[in-house]
Amino acid sequence: MSQDFVRQLPGSGLLTQRKTGIGDAIHLDVPMLLLLLIISAYGLLILYSAVGQQIEPVISQSIKMLVGLGVMLVIAQISPIVYMRLAPWIFLIGLITLVLIYFFGIEVKGSRRWLRIPGVTNFQPSEIMKLILPLMLAWYFQDRHLPPKARHVFWSLVIIIIPVMLIAFQPDLGTSLIIAASGLFVLLLAGVSWRLVFSAIGLGVVTMPALWFVLRDYQRARILTLLDPERDPLGAGWNIIQSKTAIGSGGLFGKGLFEGTQSHLHFLPESQTDFIIAVLGEELGFVGVVVLLILYLLLIGRGVILSVQAQDTFGRLLSGSITFTFFVYVFVNIGMVSGVLPVVGVPLPFVSYGGTSILTLFAGFGILMSVHTHRRITL
Amino acid sequence: MVEPLALKDHSWESRIFFERIVVCFGVLVILTLFLVARFFYLQIVQYDVYATLSDKNRIQIQPLPPVRGLIYDRNGELLADNSPSFNLTITPERVDDLDQTLAHLGSALRLTDEDIKGFRSRVGRRQRPFQPVPLLFKLTQEEIAQFSVDRHALPGVEVNAKLVRHYPRGEMMVHAVGSVRRINESDARRLDAVAYSGTDHVGKIGVEKFYEEDLLGSVGYQQVEIDARGKVMKILESNLPSRGKDLILHVDSSLQAAASAALGDRRGTVVAIEPKTGGILALVSKPGYDPNLFVTGIDHKTYAALRDSRDVPLFNRAVQGQYEPGSTLKPIIGLAGLVTGMTNPDYTIDDPGWFRLSNSERLYRDWNWRASGAGGHGKVNLEKAIYRSCNIYFYGLAVKMGIDRLDDYLSLFGFGVNTTLDLPEARSGLLPTREWKEDTRGLPWYPGDTVNIGIGQGDMLVTPLQLATAVTVIANRGKWVSPRMLKSGSDLIERSTVPRMDSIELIPDPIWDLVIGAMEKVVHRGNQVYGENGTAWAYIGQDIEYRMAGKSGTAQVVGIKQGEEYDAEELEERQRKHAWFVAFAPVDNPTIALAVLVENGGGGSEFAAPVARAVLDHHLLKSTTNSGQVVATAGEEL
């Protein structure tokens, strides 16, 4: 424990020195860790089926998860004060990498999302921005009176819009929307007046049709496909028709683990990545999906508890935003696969195959744990 | 260090935060419940729908198309079989750059814009991804070899073999056998989708069309589990197809060839019938076309050339062509006259070369009429009227009989009605009646109309097949046999909807003897003084080894004005008369009856009779080499 930061608040008899447990000793939240491990294990099982019962991808994914856990552990060790102090600088570096992408980015399928660090690795600045933006905003609000004043709201919106736009024009609409959400959650939790929130939502609804003209053709096609997948059943509609078919044909208990025909006969596209919940729905049915949703909800619930227990504005806003952003992942992915949201490339947390998002997710929960386990006092 | 106010704010802030986070968590729970409801809807409420869709994806009923029945001629010669045809197919999902692949193929193989257009439209009509789409049909061996060289550079492009209809005799047999065509969109609407799944062709013309149901066979299927790339993972169930029935036709290929050769390059038709059975021995219509062109899809240019040709090769003159019967009708009119007592064998007229109705100025001329007045046949009885083809006699006889009685007797021979059992294109010609004229022209029947009918002209129309059938009835002395292509192999012929004719009884043998005898004289009466020989004797009757009964005829194409002589050279070739000849042989026991038409040929005896003679010669003198029988004998010896 970093005793430097422990301060006794004067005149506060209710506050006592917090008890320390084994989790606190290594700066981990045990319930959260357990939930993460259960979800990861469940995810690996689904992945094992989705890849056609090959062990190599599962091992590769497990390694990524272990690395992720390692990253989480390291991040949890570092006090939130450090993050808070570094926040503006980290944000600046994040913005610079986003700008660099426009000059040095690797172009894949017409969009630039990756930056090559010569000799080391490729990394995706937008992925890290998912954590950096709430960090920056939490820093921005931590020493300000809340609920925020109008000009603070304005400047925080500026802070949000810069990275969101940079990412939206890569183009990567899905990620930019999630990053926007992560920033807006900070604002919402900071206590922006409900009037402003509902006005913004109202404005959004009203300007929605105008948005149509801003969208690119493929984005419009995705929305049209959502409304009527049958308009191009072999093309744009194929994914969504097949994923709904996979899910629907699972029924209550599913076709049995490894017995999904939609995925194993390759009707279901992206069955190992973005559309993996269709595999779950097909093989383990409604029950399997509900179990996963309950696990997510428990994890989010734990995140909410940790956020509420956080002792300062910075910790609260950061933890709350990370927790709710996690839900956005879950909702957007599942909504997309089950045909209630347009197709955007968002993986299903801890289940979809792929490394980048796993690291960000564990890092996010590492921040939550850092905030939680570096408390000076218990309530 | 920390102000009390700030502390107060902290608790205020945490209250706001708490309130906010509870609201957000509430919304989040509601959204999660919404997702649960969505999955409940998909997985529980709509389970049946999606379970079916999933099975439909996974389980494919693959049709196993039957092999189409073969068609043989009476001697066991193949007229229609099935041979492998190689198609070039592309699976678009396996191709990286379709345009580039097409360009590459275009440089290596013949590939027209039309091919590409057709290909793209077929791509659009696919049911599932990874279905190969045909691009080019009927590759030659060289093209396959050419493609093989490039193959490695063209993933997703393959050569597929499929059995398709093949007509070994090509153009020669096309109008007799008919042909299949690729199933087009309007066919697809009409046909039973199940029975034709996996089958690309349907009998569109002639025998192929009439016996379609039996030739097709019945489709089999296999239920397979496939993956999304269409790859068969396992066969769950299968039911083999049963091949179509083989048909044996009455047609004699060698006779058909002889008839075709006899017509040469002229437009025309030969229809030969076996009087005992009504079986069609030969059915030639020239020009024809190669039906194989149509099987795998004909290119537009070739098709347009066939369609727009002045010679109408696609048109089956033998069954669709409707012509004036001309003088070939005279034996039947004479027969009717004798039976009705309107004339008798001894009744004789004095033929001045023209005929005039009592209250009319109009002259009806004989064919040998001369403006100088030198024409005419002199004293003419019925027999001579037939073998000299005297118009004047028949003008008078027709007028005496009247149109109603003529119609009664002509219809007994199948005029004005289609009696062909199994050729769907066959037309019924036209037997004009009072009612017909009233209905179509709003005019009463004039005696002048009857005059024309007397020599097979005016409004009357027959198809060559109808005329051959009528001659068959004469050869059979009144016994009717419905003309047919099929010898054996199908019961569908019984279901033919054409009327079955009653045999003509009540005609005493002496009358048949007289008329048939007169027809015999058309060919065999020779070495007489000028104007006394049978009309065809000079052309075909002089060195004949068997007895033939025949009758020539000419059908007018354009009317000749009063007072003008007919001069073939003055008329454009296409406006010349059509030359007819009908015949049967041997007279005492006919084994073949036929009708020959040479379009714009000129005189029937001169131009059509030699064709008839060639066909009869072939049938009666050379048909001993019957390959079918030889095979049978060989079998017995074993």
For residue B514, give the CATH number of its domain: 3.40.710.10
Active site residue B327: yes
Residues of B in CB contact (< 8 Å) with A are 2, 7, 9-10, 12-14, 16-18, 20-21, 24-25, 28-29, 31-32, 35-36, 38-40, 42-44, 46-47, 49-51, 53-55, 57-58, 126, 128-129, 225-229, 233
Which of A188, A286, A334 shows the shortest C-beta gap to B20?
A188
Residue numbers of chain B with a pLDDT score lower than 70? 1-9, 127-129, 369-375, 558-573, 623-638
Q: What range does the domain containing B485 cover? A: 254-284+310-621
Using a CB-CB cut-off of 8 Å, the residues of chain B touching A262 are 54, 57-58
Report residues of chain A scoring pLDDT below 50: 1-17, 378-379
Contact A297 B17 (CB under 8 A): no
Contact yes or no for B49 and A293 at CB 8 A: no
Closest alpha carbon to B593 in B259, B276, B206: B276
Res B9: pLDDT: 62
Q: Quick one: pLDDT at residue B636?
A: 34
Contact call for A262 and B46, based on CB within 8 A: no
Q: What average pLDDT does the structure give for chain A?
A: 86
- How many separate domains does chain B show? 1
pLDDT digits (tens, 9 = 90+) for B38-86: 999 999 999 999 998 888 878 877 788 899 999 999 999 999 999 888 8
pLDDT computed for residue A9 by the predictor: 46
Report whether B263 contacts B270 (CB < 8 A).
yes
Q: Which residues of A touch B125 (CB under 8 A)?
A: none
β-strands B78-90, B157-166: how paired?
Answer: antiparallel
Residues listed for chain A:
379
Residues 6+ apart with CB under 8 A from B128: A234, B228, B230
- What was the pLDDT predicted at A194? 87
Contacts of B130 in chain A (CB under 8 A): none
What is the structure's pLDDT at B560? Answer: 43
Measure B223 CA to nearest chain A CA, in Å: 16
| 3-state SS string for B276-336 | CCCEEEEEEEECCCCCHHHHCCCCHHHHHHHHHCCCCCCCCHHHHCCECCHHHHHHHHHHH
B63, B115, B570 from B133: Cα distances, Å? 17, 12, 58
**pLDDT score, position A5:** 45
Closest CB to A262 among B47, B57, B226? B57
CA nearest to A307 within chain B: B21
CB-nearest partner of B31 from A234, A264, A331: A331
How many angstroms away from the CA of A366 is the closest CA of chain B? 20
ipTM: 0.90
Chain A residue numbers with beta carbons less than 8 Å from the beta carbon of B233 are 265
B352 Rama sector, left if φ>0, alpha if ψ -120 to 50, beta otherwise: alpha
Q: What is the spatial distance between Cα B29 and Cα A301, in angstroms, rounded to a whole number?
A: 10
Contact B42 A301 (CB under 8 A): no
Q: Residue A14: what pLDDT?
A: 42
Is B57 in contact with A313 (Cβ distance < 8 A)? no
Distance CA B181, CA B190 (A): 14
Chain B residue with minimum CA distance to A310? B14
- Contact assessment for residue B331 and residue B551, using Cβ atoms and an 8 Å cutoff: yes
Taking an 8 Å cut-off on Cβ atoms, the answer to whether A300 and B28 are in contact is: yes
pLDDT recorded at residue B199: 83
Q: What is the pLDDT of residue A2?
A: 42
The nearest alpha carbon in chain A to B6 belongs to A145
- On the CB side of B274, how many CA atoms lie within 13 Å of its CA? 18
DSSP-assigned beta bridge partners for residue B158: B89
Contacts of A271 (CB under 8 A, 6+ apart): A50, A262, A263, A278, A279
Judge whether B30 lies within some domain: no
From the candidates B85, B179, B253, B327, give the one annotated as an active-site residue.
B327
Contacts of A250 in chain B (CB under 8 A): 43
Whether residue B358 lies inside any domain: the answer is: yes
Cβ–Cβ gap A261/B226 under 8 Å: no
Q: Give the residue on B whose Cα is nearest the Cα of A292.
A: B36
Chain A: closest CA distance from residue B197 (Å): 21
